[in-house]
């Protein structure tokens, strides 16, 4: 595929196929230098040839892994269906071993992803829910014998970072390496760290569907809307306000968050 410069130019060419970052999915685009820095880390760790799952990949890190490594298979699981056309073109025009599957991580993991991958790379929404759900999905999808292959990017400081640190401690997940402020973004968002994790058990916290708020604007909003099975929309500050049930029909079961990103 040519020299290192040729590979970087090919990556930039494919990057240009993207539209602007989609705020509804909390997308933020890494700079090219940041993506290449990640690739160098994966190479140094001897992981560029592993079967890899990208849980969300608006940054096209999977494309970069395919260009600079020699993996047998790269799968991108994302809710943004526009990525499918970009990855299809990368596969057909440049013979890159990369595939796309539409999967909303709020939905229970589909069977074809479970316990299948030797490396998982992800950057969850910068919310407590995003961290909890993405980590759980990674634990479910990492292959036995490759428990050191989970990489997650989180803000380098602040309340979400504090939550991440406390959450992985509670789950007994080990930090193997921490690459500080390696992630920089095109729009100047807060830098983030990339962290290599190792799991020691399969005790994940979200096994089935996630029915609560998930994205940044949802978690940070003053009021949240939940849908009852009677189809009434209930506007509350916290789901705890629904402990006595729906005021319209009295239902006391699960209430589904009324997200602007609809579940399919």
pLDDT for 72 equals 86
- Read off the pLDDT of residues 65-87 as tens digits, 9 standing for 90 and up: 999 998 889 999 999 999 999 99
pLDDT, average across residues 25-40: 96
Residue 205 lies in a domain: no
In terms of domains, do 27 and 85 share one? Answer: yes
In terms of domains, do 14 and 136 share one? Answer: yes
Q: How far is CA 262 from CA 76, 156, 259, in A?
A: 20, 30, 6
In terms of domains, do 229 and 189 share one? Answer: no
Q: Which of 154, 182, 198 is the last residue of a domain?
A: 198
In terms of domains, do 93 and 145 share one? Answer: yes
pLDDT for 221 equals 87
Residue 208 lies in a domain: no
* CA-wise closest residue to 31 among 189, 162, 143: 189
In terms of domains, do 185 and 139 share one? Answer: yes
What is the residue range of 239's domain?
A: 222-257
Q: What is the largest CA-CA distance in the chain?
A: 66
Residue 110 lies in a domain: yes
pLDDT for 194 equals 98
Residue 167 and residue 135 in contact, taking contact as beta carbons nearer than 8 Å: yes
Q: Which of 151, 166, 198 is the last residue of a domain?
A: 198
Q: E strands within 12-80?
A: 52-55, 74-78
Q: How many CA atoms lie within 13 A of 75 on its CB side?
A: 16
pLDDT for 86 equals 95
Question: Where residue 50 sits, what CATH number does that domain have?
Answer: 3.40.50.150
Residue 163 lies in a domain: yes
Q: How far is CA 70 from CA 156, 181, 227, in A?
A: 31, 27, 46
Close Cβ partners of 18 (under 8 Å, ≥ 6 residues apart): 29, 58, 60, 82, 86
Choose between 251 and 203: higher pLDDT: 251
Backbone phi, psi, residue 162, to 5°: -60, -40
Residue 232 and residue 251 in contact, taking contact as beta carbons nearer than 8 Å: no
**Distance between the two ends of the chain, CA-based, in angstroms?**
39
In terms of domains, do 138 and 53 share one? Answer: yes
Partners of 152 in beta bridges? 122, 195
In terms of domains, do 156 and 39 share one? Answer: yes
In terms of domains, do 186 and 239 share one? Answer: no
| Element (DSSP H or E) covering residue 64 | helix 61-68
Residue 56: exposure state from Cβ atoms within 10 A (0-12, 13-18, ≥19) = buried
- Read off the pLDDT of residues 195-241 as tens digits, 9 standing for 90 and up: 999 999 888 889 899 999 999 999 988 899 999 999 999 999 989 99
In terms of domains, do 103 and 229 share one? Answer: no
pLDDT for 196 equals 98
Residue 68 lies in a domain: yes
pLDDT, average across residues 165-189: 94
In terms of domains, do 38 and 134 share one? Answer: yes
Coil, strand, or helix at residue 82? helix
User: Is the per-residue pLDDT at 136 higher than 80?
Assistant: yes
pLDDT for 66 equals 96
pLDDT for 203 equals 83
Q: Distance (Å, rounded) from C-alpha 174 to C-alpha 59?
A: 26
Helix axes 128-141, 159-171, angle to 10 degrees: 40
Token pair 């970087």: residue: 8
Residue 174 lies in a domain: yes
Residue 61 lies in a domain: yes
User: Is the per-residue pLDDT at 1 higher than 80?
Assistant: no
Considering its fold, how many domains does the chain have in total? 2
In terms of domains, do 74 and 165 share one? Answer: yes
Residue 91 lies in a domain: yes
In terms of domains, do 182 and 253 share one? Answer: no
Residue 1 and residue 7 in contact, taking contact as beta carbons nearer than 8 Å: yes
Q: Which of 182, 198, 214 is the last residue of a domain?
A: 198
């Amino acid at each position: 595929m040519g020299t290192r410069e040729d590979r970087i130019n090919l990556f930039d060419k494919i990057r240009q196929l993207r539209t602007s970052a989609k705020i509804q999915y909390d997308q933020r685009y890494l700079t090219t230098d940041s993506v290449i820095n990640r690739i160098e880390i994966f190479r140094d760790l001897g992981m560029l040839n592993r079967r890899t799952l990208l849980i969300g990949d608006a940054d096209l890190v999977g494309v970069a892994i395919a260009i600079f490594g020699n993996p047998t298979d790269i799968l991108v699981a994302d809710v943004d269906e526009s990525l499918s056309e970009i990855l299809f073109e990368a596969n057909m025009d440049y013979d890159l071993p990369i595939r796309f599957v539409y999967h909303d991580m709020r939905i229970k993991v589909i069977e074809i992803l479970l316990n299948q991958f030797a490396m998982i790379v992800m950057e969850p929404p910068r919310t407590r829910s995003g961290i909890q759900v993405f980590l759980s999905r990674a634990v479910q999808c990492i292959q036995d014998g490759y428990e050191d292959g989970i990489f997650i990017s989180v803000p380098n400081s602040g309340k979400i970072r504090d939550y991440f640190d406390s959450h992985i401690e509670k789950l007994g997940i080990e930090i193997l390496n921490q690459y500080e402020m390696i992630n920089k973004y095109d729009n100047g968002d807060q830098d983030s760290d990339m962290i290599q994790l190792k799991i020691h058990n399969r005790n994940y916290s979200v096994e089935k569907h996630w029915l609560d708020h998930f994205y940044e604007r949802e978690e940070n909003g003053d009021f949240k809307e939940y849908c009852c099975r009677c189809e009434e929309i209930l506007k509350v500050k916290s789901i705890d306000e629904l402990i006595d049930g729906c005021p319209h029909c009295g239902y006391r079961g699960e209430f589904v968050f009324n997200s602007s990103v609809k579940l399919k």
